[in-house]
Amino acid sequence: MAMINCPECSQEVSETALKCPSCGYKINEPKRSFFGKIIKWSFIIFNLIMLLWAVAGGGTVSDGVASAGSDAEAAGAAIGGALGMGMIFILWVIGDIILGIFVLFTRPKS
């Protein structure tokens, strides 16, 4: 284990230390583990996929309502679309809560 001098107080500190024990100067930034990086990126990708799904679902619902032959068909398409979009948003929130907890627990420790 090599020793370096603290840039703030010039005391000897281990090169693997996160901060100087005498003055508290931050020497190294904590890094996220490989598993933590996978969890973080899965959270980001999940949110992008859900956003894409919500936008595509909204477009499909508006096309269905616009191409309906009667008022009953348009109402059915609107109700079905609202239920479908509601389910997408519920799945989005539940997924974000679960993945967010994993992201929180795999963050770098200081």
**CA quadruple 82, 87, 88, 90: dihedral positive or negative?**
positive
Same domain, 42 and 55: yes
Per residue in 4-36, pLDDT (tens digit) is 888 888 888 888 888 888 888 888 888 889 999
Same domain, 20 and 39: no
Closest CA to 27 of 2, 63, 56: 2
Same domain, 105 and 53: yes
Same domain, 18 and 54: no
pLDDT under 70: residue ranges of the chain: 1, 110
How many domains are there within the chain?
2
Same domain, 93 and 50: yes
Same domain, 45 and 22: no
pTM attached to this predicted model: 0.73
Same domain, 22 and 44: no
Same domain, 36 and 25: no
**Range(s) of the domain holding residue 26:** 1-30
Same domain, 41 and 23: no
Distance from C-alpha of 105 to C-alpha of 35, rounded to nearest angstrom: 11
Distance from C-alpha of 60 to C-alpha of 79, rounded to nearest angstrom: 13
Contact between 36 and 107 (Cβ < 8 Å)? yes
Q: What is the DSSP string of 68-97?
A: -SSHHHHHHHHHHHHHHHHHHHHHHHHHHH
